[in-house]
Structure 1
Amino acid sequence: MEQNSQYREKLLIQLKNSFGRVVYTYTSHLKQVNSLERNLKIIKYSQIVLSACSTGGFLGAIITNKNVCTVVAGIFSTVLLVFNLFFKNFNPENEIKQHILAADELWLIREKYVSLMTDFDILSNEDIISTRDSLLQKTYEIYKKTPKTNSRSYMKAQEALKNEEEQFFTNEELNQMLPSHLRKSSESLY
């Protein structure tokens, strides 16, 4: 009996570690999406500004008949061309979609780990092992088909999870989210 209890404890530790890795990866994908969206916004605004400066310079040259406006417009137009060529093969919209899809799929895996750990005491070892193996395989399939996150996103996820408890709620926060008829008094939260 002692051996079985030691095994179950090791099994629970493994589940917790797997859960933690999924939470980190899930959060890293969300941080990567934020970074890519910010970069995309900068690129789009830069293209708009360079286009406006280029067009404005050419319009100014037509209206004022001054060569300096043509030169300025030409410079902005050349910078815009270089900028567009540099980002020609950069497709942040597609990468954003892939990271969002990965995060969505990992969310479900994360919740299944929580459910498995919640049901741990009433499940047999065989049921736990079977569910664990299935979750590991599904996680592997997600990792295999999605883009990797960068170290910056991982560090942001680490900061969010460790210091800001981004993916977790206090008992008080959870209580506040419930409809009023389901809330508990502050004394009975624990």
Structure 2
Amino acid sequence: MQLLLLTAGLGLLSVLGAQGPQLTPAHAQELVGRWHIKLWAGTFPIPVKRRSHPIPPFTLAMNELQKLEFRMNLTKPIGCIPFKLPLDIGPKPGVFHTWYKYRIYINFLPGKQHAIAHFNDTIDFSKHVMMMLMGRSLDEDPEAVRTFEEFAESKGLNQTDIARPPPLEACELPPDS
């Protein structure tokens, strides 16, 4: 389930058609570092009890092929399982492509401590939207939350579609991963 959320979430790391001057397309080098998923929303059929399941932090790094790479350790009964998703850098700032050929948009909020990642595509003949508010720290930022809520609403989602997962630190990524 976490893998689906993260694949969709990072594969979802897109902010398609980010509206308004408060969002700035992200360049790959600006995204490098550790991030936390603060909020997420989407149309994928995820059971309600799983929507608020704790999510570990993730890292965005440049890999040896000079691709931006999403890295997260997933907690499984057998232990921590590393998950990596390379993202091709698109033709415009803020646009990234997964190997599935999905387009992901990532835009910074003012201050570049928060970003919105957005995915909007057809999977298995159904149109899906997935987005997340990611932050460099666990600090609360009401303005970032408000911006994310407005963005989600502009993409056809409701306030009830927004999940607020608690952080999970049990499966830390090593600093050099």
Q: What TM bracket, shorter-length normalisation?
A: under 0.3
- TM-score, reference length from structure 1: 0.21
- TM-score, reference length from structure 2: 0.22
Choose between structure 1 and 2: higher helix proportion. 1
Structure whose CA Rg is larger: 1
Choose between structure 1 and 2: higher strand proportion. 2
